[in-house]
Amino acid sequence: MEKVVIIGTGCAGLTAALYTARANLAPLVLTGTMPGGLLTTTSIVENFPGFPEGIDGYELMTRMQKQAERFGARVQFGTVESVDLSRSPFKLTVDGEPVEAQTIIIASGAGHRHLGLESESLLEKKGVTYCATCDGALPMFRNQPLVVVGGGDSACEEATYLTRFASVVYLIHRRDSLRASKIMAERTLANPKIKPVWNSVVTEILDVKKDTVTGVRVKDVNTGAEQVLDCAGVFVAIGHVPNTQLFNGMIDLDENGYVIPKEGSATKVPGVFVAGDCSDHVYRQAITAAGMGCAAAIDAERYLAALNQ
């Protein structure tokens, strides 16, 4: 039986692995289909403390894994297919095989909701991005027109943040008013650099042939009229999908599927803890996920210590 099983090897999972390994708990750490997590999909990370020149996302995650393994973490390629939290020890099914665990740390992350356009996936990282805080300051976006797609708080935050770098920010939204909170919507619309494009959807991101973003084709949902807006970047901010479906009905999730912690990193099931983007719809950064991983590891360690007294 495992003392600790960690679901996920992003910043949250690997930090939890480091801490639980250093506490001599020899955690079993499951990678899922994305070993190293979301950060491996970005080239340069400039805001993780300790790397003044920035660091390649893949390299950062490889180093985190090595650091955890040095103290005894066992990283295993495998996806959790189901969990039973109603029994003790807990039971997980990992690629068809049963695993028993005294504690579980859920660090399964959250994916970005995509527009679903072929041109979007072909131009990802070539001007299409899902995180203004991460990519907004890149030289390719400086003093250029940029597009943000969405109408909620995140889209407003992204658009406002991007006005620091962009010549103009087009905020494309399918409705005729923002979904964001009143104060956020007012602040956004008062910003002279933000130009809302109402009742509109992006139908194509240009230009796949040039292998870089040069603009977007936009359709008015009421009239069907199309226009092309020139831009150097498209920031898609239409929400996230937390990877928590496995736990539906077992622990508390909010209406969007994010885990609601009970106290610290604890969930309503004693022995099950949570960390990172799967329970964070506010900050969603590598360093905050790592911090939450640390907290979950300490909570799991204390829980086990009390259990085995």
Ligand X SMILES: Cc1cc2nc3c(=O)[nH]c(=O)nc-3n(C[C@H](O)[C@H](O)[C@H](O)COP(=O)(O)OP(=O)(O)OC[C@H]3O[C@@H](n4cnc5c(N)ncnc54)[C@H](O)[C@@H]3O)c2cc1C
Binding positions for ligand X, 146-175, rule CB under 6 A: none
Active site residue 135: yes
What does 265-304 look like in DSSP terms, one character per residue? TB-SSTTEEE-GGGG-SS---HHHHHHHHHHHHHHHHHHH
Give the one residue of 20, 31, 265, 267 binding ligand X; rule: CB under 6 A: 31
Determine the Cα–Cα distance for residues 259 and 105; give it in Å rounded to an integer: 12
Q: Are the CB atoms for 135 and 141 separated by under 8 Å?
A: yes
Q: Is 278 a catalytic residue?
A: no
Distance between CA atoms of residues 65 and 35, nearest Å: 10
Out of 39, 104, 128, 251, which residue is the one contacting ligand X (CB under 6 A)? 39
| 208 touches ligand X (CB under 6 A) | no
CB nearer to ligand X: pick between 46 and 230: 46
Shortest distance in whole angstroms from residue 151 CB to ligand X: 21
Q: Which stretch binds ligand X (CB under 6 A): 150-158, 251-259, 276-284, 296-304?
A: 276-284
Q: H-type helices in 163-285, by residue range?
A: 182-190
Nearer to ligand X, 61 or 197 (CB): 61
83, 85, 103, 130: residue in contact with ligand X (rule CB under 6 A): 130
Residue 194: in which H helix or E strand, if any? strand 194-197
The phi-psi region of residue 32 (left if phi > 0; otherwise alpha if psi is between -120 and 50; otherwise beta) is left
136 binds ligand X (CB under 6 A): no
Q: Is 53 exposed, middle or buried (0-12, 13-18, 19+ CB in 10 A)?
A: exposed
State the nearest-atom distance from the C-beta of 190 to ligand X, in Å: 28
Q: How far is the CB of 181 from ligand X (least distance, A)?
A: 22
Per CB under 6 A, contacts with ligand X among 60-89 are 79-80
Q: Which of 286, 295, 300, 304 lies at the binding interface for ligand X (CB under 6 A)?
A: 286
Closer residue to ligand X in complex, CB, 130/273: 130
For the bound state, the minimum distance from the C-beta of residue 89 to ligand X, rounded and expressed in Å, comes to 18
Which residues are bridge partners to 171 per DSSP? 148, 196
Residue 281 CA to residue 237 CA, distance in Å, equals 12
Query: Of 3, 4, 5, 10, which lies in the binding site for ligand X, with binding defined by CB under 6 A?
Result: 10
Q: How far is the CB of 110 from ligand X (least distance, A)?
A: 6
274 binds ligand X (CB under 6 A): no
Tell which residue, 43, 44, 53, 3, has the closest CA to residue 26: 3
Nearest distance in Å: CB 111, ligand X = 7
The yes or no reply on residue 216 touching ligand X (CB under 6 A) is no
Question: Cα-atom radius of gyration of the chain, to the nearest Å?
Answer: 21
Per-residue tokens: 238: 């239409």
**Residues 26, 208, 287, 294: which binds ligand X (CB under 6 A)?**
287
> Would you say 153 and 181 are in contact if contact means Cβ atoms under 8 Å apart?
yes
3-state SS class at 26: coil
Site for ligand X contains 196 (CB under 6 A): no
Q: Which residues are catalytic, by number?
A: 131, 134-135
Binding site for ligand X (CB under 6 A): 7-13, 30-35, 37-39, 41-42, 45, 47, 79-80, 107-109, 130-131, 134, 243, 246, 276-277, 284-287, 289
